[in-house]
Structure 1
Amino acid sequence: MRKIALVTHPEAQHHVEQKVGGWYDTGLTERGQQQATAIAAVLGAELPQSSPIYSSDLQRTSQTAALIARSLHSQVVLDQRLREMSYGAAEGRDQAWFDQQIVYPPQSAGRLDHRVYPSSENRREVATRIYAAMESIINSAAQQLVIVTHGFAASFVIAAWIGMPLEALGLVAFQVNSGSISWLTQSAPFHNRTLASLNDTHHLAKF
């Protein structure tokens, strides 16, 4: 059975500073490192040694991936295409300020190309790069692996896995919290792709 652990990075410095994230490149807090170690312990028990790890190249994800790699004795492939949505010039600014600047999308038409901030990416741009990254990952020989990404980006990883058309992604959103593990599977003989588990955070209970 093909089995993919989809991990969202845990607590990062911009979370506690209440800054806009996106491509704003902060590392994990001390608590976030502890959370990432707990994630690594779960994956070490669920996946075989040397399972490859694909990760966004930002600090908070690459640090998470490095701790998982230590548990699995495996290598990390950093891929910029797995980054979070870019919020452009708003990145690193106070979240409270940004909340007043957001231009919310329409309820139906035009959502895929809508920008929440003038210099931000839109959903189409995020989805296009994540779908390209997922095509490379899915076409790899690895049957069991890890993908480390971000909360919003994770929805597009899942959508790519289950084969949602890009044009349908204007409305897609899976509830995925920081430090979560979701499982994507595919089994014989029908080879259907499944979202077997979404947003598991039980390993964070003591933090």
Structure 2
Amino acid sequence: MSNTLQPPSDHWRNRYLLMRHGHSQANQQGLIISSPERGINEFGLSAIGERQLAQAVAEWGWPVPTKVVHSDFLRTTQTAAQVASAFKLEMAVDKRLRERYFGEFDGQTDAHYPDVWALDSLNADHAHHQVEAVSSVAARMSAVMEGLEQQYAGEIILLVSHGDPLQILLTALAGKSLTTHREQTPLVPASITLYGHGV
């Protein structure tokens, strides 16, 4: 499943392929893996994720990327590598594309996600349970795109990140209240959303 959104203005200099990583071992095990200590070296793509990426590359129907920027977590690095290899591109890491940190729920069952999202809907600045605030995620994700806009023009940039950060970013780009980020259509693993100039 993919989504194409209209930019709020025509000022975008580049086009962006906002990609969620493929199905991961964390998804498979039903775990929240949101800290660098757990996510950088472990919990990469599952066998399902590997197949998703192979299929996505084989059936690529998007503009061909010219640059690949990714979170340094293993699951996003492996996802970016599959696409970069297919199009013979180098990869660049940006830590600001990392997973949202879920605080004391890190390493626990993903049944805790709805608890955090319920709090998000009340206050985008909350940090209950030591969770990273939605507003903080929006700021760092938006900063990535702003920096790329200043640095490049006419590029097609693949950004490989995680479900919550991408949904929060898309909410911010649409000019909607960050408390509504869960009202975005959920981004399935390996999905791509096209955003930016000429979309």
TM-score > 0.5, shorter chain as reference: yes
Q: Which blocks of at least 5 consecutive residues in structure 2 are unaligned?
A: 1-12
Contact 2:121 2:179 (C-alpha < 8 Å) held by counterparts: no
More helix by share: 2
Q: Work out the percentage of aligned pairs sharing the same amino acid.
A: 23
**2:63 matches 1:47:** yes
The residue that corresponds to 2:118 in the other structure is 104
Aligned residues: 179
Q: Shift of the alpha carbon at 1:41? A: 2.9
Q: TM-score, normalised by structure 2?
A: 0.78
The structure-2 alpha-carbon separation of the partners of 1:136 and 1:42, relative to structure 1 and needing over 3 Å to count, comes to farther
The residue that corresponds to 2:7 in the other structure is none
**2:187 matches 1:185:** no
Q: How does 1:88-167 map to 2 (within 5 A)?
A: 88-96=103-111, 98=112, 102=116, 104-105=118-119, 108=122, 111-115=123-127, 117-141=128-152, 142-159=154-171, 161=173, 164=175
The structure-2 alpha-carbon separation of the partners of 1:79 and 1:106, relative to structure 1 and needing over 3 Å to count, comes to closer
The residue that corresponds to 2:95 in the other structure is 80
Q: Shift of the alpha carbon at 1:64? A: 0.2
Structure 1 CA distance, aligned partners of 2:171 and 2:118?
A: 22
Q: Report SS of the residue matched to 1:6.
A: strand
Alignment deviations for residues 124-147 of structure 1 (CA, whole Å, 9 cap, x no partner): 111111111111122232521211
**2:67 matches 1:29:** no
Query: Please, which moves more after superposition, 68-77 or 2-11?
Result: 2-11
Q: TM-score, normalised by structure 1?
A: 0.75
Which one of 73, 78, 81 corresponds to residue 66 of structure 1?
81
Structure 2 CA distance, aligned partners of 1:18 and 1:134?
A: 30
The structure-2 alpha-carbon separation of the partners of 1:143 and 1:100, relative to structure 1 and needing over 3 Å to count, comes to closer
The structure-2 alpha-carbon separation of the partners of 1:46 and 1:123, relative to structure 1 and needing over 3 Å to count, comes to closer
Q: Which fold has the larger relative contact order, with Cα–Cα distance below 8 Å and residues 6 or more apart in sequence? A: 2
Structure 1 CA distance, aligned partners of 2:75 and 2:100?
A: 14
The residue that corresponds to 1:204 in the other structure is none
The residue that corresponds to 1:198 in the other structure is none
- Partner amino acid for 1:181? I
**2:181 matches 1:169:** no
Contact 2:101 2:131 (C-alpha < 8 Å) held by counterparts: yes
The structure-2 alpha-carbon separation of the partners of 1:153 and 1:103, relative to structure 1 and needing over 3 Å to count, comes to closer
Alignment deviations for residues 9-61 of structure 1 (CA, whole Å, 9 cap, x no partner): 11111111111132341100122111112223344x5434x710011111100
Q: Shift of the alpha carbon at 1:172? A: 3.2
**2:21 matches 1:6:** no
